Structure 1
Amino acid sequence: MESAPIRAAEFFAGIGLVRTALERVKGAQVQVVWANDIKQAKRDAYAANFPDAEEHFVVRDIREVEASDLPAGIELATSSFPCIDLSLAGNRRGLSGEQSGMFWEFTKVMKGLSPRPPVILLENVYGFATSRGGADLAAALESLSKLDYSLDVIAIDARHFVPQSRPRMFIVGIQKNMLPSRVRKGLPAVTDSRPAWVQAIHGKHRQALDMHYMDLPPLPEGPQDLDGFVEVDVAASLWWGEDRVDAFVRSLSDVQRARFETLLAGDATSYRTAYRRTRRGVAMWELRKDGIAGCLRTTGGGSSKQALVQLGKGQISIRWMTPREYANLMGAHEYKLLAGTPNQQLFGFGDAVVVDVIEWIGNNYLLPILRPTCVE
């Protein structure tokens, strides 16, 4: 007999990549019945891909959202709350910051729900674990535990699925009275999805809080280059002119220049991504050592944008990465780019989750909890 759809609510929904991932989960249908974000441009991108957004997407500051605004029967609540105050590249104000402090608004809504969703999934940067010496993560775990959730922490770099280095940590909460037999108590072993620092989090909090873990399969190897993710046919006008390319090359440090020259002289054409950095007050370009992209970011300035460098056979071409390439690197090859300006599209993807990562968590963690008969 076909199981009932898993009813999900998507907090900080952005352009809808969590929903994109959940709808790919094998064995059970996931139905997003409520979604929220504060930015109209993100809602427009979401609606261009999910026409039913008119029925359930609420454009509103989460501080104005009440538990009564959500429909009944939510089984899964996801929250990719802002990372800017937690990121090592941000201001490190932690959960007291204006942006990342929206975590508390999420917990406020969860507290008001009766019954609460059996499962919650939170996503943020690795910096969450070290913010204020670990005090912010401890406070977050404690607050979720008081809402009757048993908690697990995992860490996944998206490079296991797409050619982009994008490390993120996840908190999975399960209502304590609904823990399935497959979850374990105690200290989890060190694995690729639970490195030593995650194991240490479990060790630090498992006595005072309800913590659990679940055995997970190894993460896949992941692609090692950008083939299949780069747009081959783009307008010639997107490629930089000779003067701009020369300025790029002149800005390279000696180490970077050696890397550049090796690739330029190669017998095959290869791609590298590059960021502009400020070193000792001087703007410089830096190529990645490997063939994958750096972490895509929200476009807020020149240093946040990623350039694509094509090198080999004595030829060099450079341009900014396109929204389609950002979509591909976020695992959203089929995503429709129908709404917003190119810069808004880049911002939306830079602020999102990698589809393949959430799909993997959905298949290997969420589905066995919420619909165990679908995986047995």
Structure 2
Amino acid sequence: MDSAPVRAAEFFAGIGLVRTALERVKGAQIQVVWANDIKQAKYDAYAANFPDAEDHFVVRDIRRIEASDLPTGIELATSSFPCIDLSLAGNRRGLVGEQSGMFWEFAKIVEGMSPRPSVILLENVHGFATSHGGKDLEAALASLSKLDYSLDVLAIDARHFVPQSRPRMFIVGIQQDKLPSQALHDVPPVSDVRPAWVRAIHETHRQTLDMHYIDLPALPEGPRDLDGFVETDVAGDLWWDEGRVEAFVRSLSDVQKARFEALLAGNTISYRTAYRRTRQGVSVWELRKDGIAGCLRTTGGGSSKQALVRLGRGSKAVRWMTPREYANLMGAHEYKLLAGTPNQQLFGFGDAVVVDVIEWIGNKYLLPVLRPAGTE
């Protein structure tokens, strides 16, 4: 039995939410010993939360990193490579894009590592599966298969853990000689972590690539409202003035306005989130019909920021969501907001992973593979 902590490397580490999650895995059995990102502002946020950052965090373009730069004995490598070229909201250039094409740099480094990590975990948007008609995903899977990884694909919406709709896909690669006995090589049944479109990926590629799946438990139900995630004691000047709130209301469609008025007349205080959209060339606000937040985004402009709407007992109030609320919705309630401007903080969280999702994958999948004797 190997009782030593799993040594992990975090590529595209951002503000460190993968590390936050991995350190919560049972018995603190996973330890991040190397991390990288290109942005100094993200390092600053990471360092404010992890005092040992200067010992292992490399602020450098991944294209200037060699396999030899990493410490030895890496068993787990994680990669949340940029999604902008894969996202349906992005430019859809795919893996030839300047940002999402960084996947190939990650794969090149892994290829050069000796020994290679026993397990790799990749995270990205669902658009990765359909980019260039599925050819981008096929190419990525093929490149990892050539490095002797058997591959599994998962899809998890963070709403099972936090009140935020944030669907993401994950690729788990396991070196062939590390595949556990519970790994199965036929087409997986449809489940909450492998919906029909993920099952189709397995079915399409299992004859030509090394594919497997491992049975996983059902995902938890998840919260249905924002209670415990919103700040109730923010400064009064953060709430919009009456004129701005009225402009917000005027922009709502008839359906949206009816939803707004019903909540306004309610006997309890309710919170909803809203995004600004452009409909037929006109900027309008749209209010979510459920009690959870929309997918938090990187703050590249006003339309990407999410507003919080408080309604009930005849009272209405609107403001932008705060960095603390973004942190909470990413499962990082205890994350210290000590570095960067509020906009940089919003950007960092919008560009990150949900802690609870990675922790769940770590406990239910990664640790049983990497330390089978030490898990329940």
Shared fold (TM-score greater than 0.5)? yes
Corresponding position of 1:328: 328
Corresponding position of 1:163: 163
User: SS of the counterpart of 1:133?
Assistant: helix
Shift of 1:28: 4.7
User: SS of the counterpart of 2:343?
Assistant: helix
User: Distance between the aligned counterparts of 1:18 and 1:31, measured in 2?
Assistant: 11
Taking structure 1 as the reference length, the TM-score comes to 0.99
User: Distance between the aligned counterparts of 1:333 and 1:23, measured in 2?
Assistant: 15
Corresponding position of 1:200: 200
User: SS of the counterpart of 1:332?
Assistant: coil
User: Distance between the aligned counterparts of 2:325 and 2:226, measured in 1?
Assistant: 10
Contact 2:87–2:125 (Cα < 8 Å) also in 1: yes
**Shift >2 Å, 4+ stretches:** none
Corresponding position of 2:98: 98
Corresponding position of 2:145: 145
Contact 1:145–1:209 (Cα < 8 Å) also in 2: yes
Corresponding position of 1:112: 112
Report matched runs for 1:23-102 at 5 Å. Answer: 23-102=23-102
User: SS of the counterpart of 1:340?
Assistant: coil
Corresponding position of 2:304: 304
Structure 1: give runs of 5+ residues left out of the alignment: none
Contact 1:28–1:367 (Cα < 8 Å) also in 2: no
User: Distance between the aligned counterparts of 1:265 and 1:31, measured in 2?
Assistant: 51
Contact 2:298–2:349 (Cα < 8 Å) also in 1: yes
Structure 1 residue identity aligned to 2:202? H
Structure 2 residue identity aligned to 1:179? L
Corresponding position of 2:20: 20
User: Distance between the aligned counterparts of 1:332 and 1:232, measured in 2?
Assistant: 18
User: Distance between the aligned counterparts of 1:229 and 1:109, measured in 2?
Assistant: 38
Report matched runs for 1:248-287 at 5 Å. Answer: 248-287=248-287
Corresponding position of 1:209: 209
User: Distance between the aligned counterparts of 1:337 and 1:86, measured in 2?
Assistant: 29
Contact 1:216–1:364 (Cα < 8 Å) also in 2: yes
| 1:357 counterpart = 2:372 | no
Structure 1 residue identity aligned to 2:349? F
Count of paired positions: 376
Corresponding position of 1:290: 290
User: Distance between the aligned counterparts of 1:192 and 1:118, measured in 2?
Assistant: 26
Report matched runs for 1:204-243 at 5 Å. Answer: 204-243=204-243
User: Distance between the aligned counterparts of 1:293 and 1:230, measured in 2?
Assistant: 10
Structure 1 residue identity aligned to 2:297? R
Contact 1:165–1:293 (Cα < 8 Å) also in 2: yes
Contact 2:22–2:28 (Cα < 8 Å) also in 1: no
Q: Percent identity?
A: 83
Structure 2 residue identity aligned to 1:297? R
Corresponding position of 1:337: 337
Contact 1:6–1:28 (Cα < 8 Å) also in 2: no
Structure 2: give runs of 5+ residues left out of the alignment: none
User: Distance between the aligned counterparts of 1:62 and 1:2, measured in 2?
Assistant: 31
Structure 1 residue identity aligned to 2:374? C
Shift of 1:27: 3.5
Shift of 1:177: 1.7
User: Distance between the aligned counterparts of 2:30 and 2:150, measured in 1?
Assistant: 22
Structure 1 residue identity aligned to 2:113? L
Contact 2:119–2:175 (Cα < 8 Å) also in 1: yes
Corresponding position of 2:124: 124
| CA distances 1:35-91 after superposition (whole Å, capped 9, x unpaired) | 000000000000000000000000000000100000000000000000000000000
Contact 2:2–2:371 (Cα < 8 Å) also in 1: no
Corresponding position of 2:133: 133
| CA distances 1:128-153 after superposition (whole Å, capped 9, x unpaired) | 00001100000000000011100000
